[in-house]
Amino acid sequence: MNGVLVRRDVRGSSLNDVAGRIAGQLMVEAANAALAVRKVPKPARTGGTGTLLTDAQVLEARALHEFGGRSISDIARRYSLEYGYARRLLDYTVRSKLIAKREHLPRAPA
């Protein structure tokens, strides 16, 4: 009991009065202790879940779209991507340093 002394009051206070004062002091101490505890902020997020496709897959998808005539929806389905991400991928908004060439088109099965 942090600094709370229980003593007999000379003025004739009842035991209930003393217990009430002690309980009040404990509640004040608990409230002050709760205010003193500060929450530690969470670290900032540093990006998404990582890359969804390898560089080779990105180049292949872009080649299929640019040289093979595939639509954004086709590419999104083929690589299990959300439409919005596939659109940003194919218009070079994301991963813009990977430039597709004809040689990135997948080979036809023999």
Alpha carbon 49 to its chain's center: 10
Domain that holds residue 65: 55-104
What pLDDT score does 84 carry? 94
Q: Angle, to 10 degrees, between the axis of helix 83-90 and the axis of helix 55-66?
A: 80
48: in domain: no
Q: Are residues 32 and 72 in the same domain?
A: no
Residue ranges of the chain with pLDDT lower than 70?
1-13, 34-39, 45-50, 110
84: in domain: yes
33: in domain: yes
| Total count of domains within the chain | 2
Q: Are residues 100 and 60 in the same domain?
A: yes
Whether 93 and 100 have beta carbons less than 8 Å apart is answered as: no
pLDDT exceeding 90 applies to what percent of the chain? Answer: 48
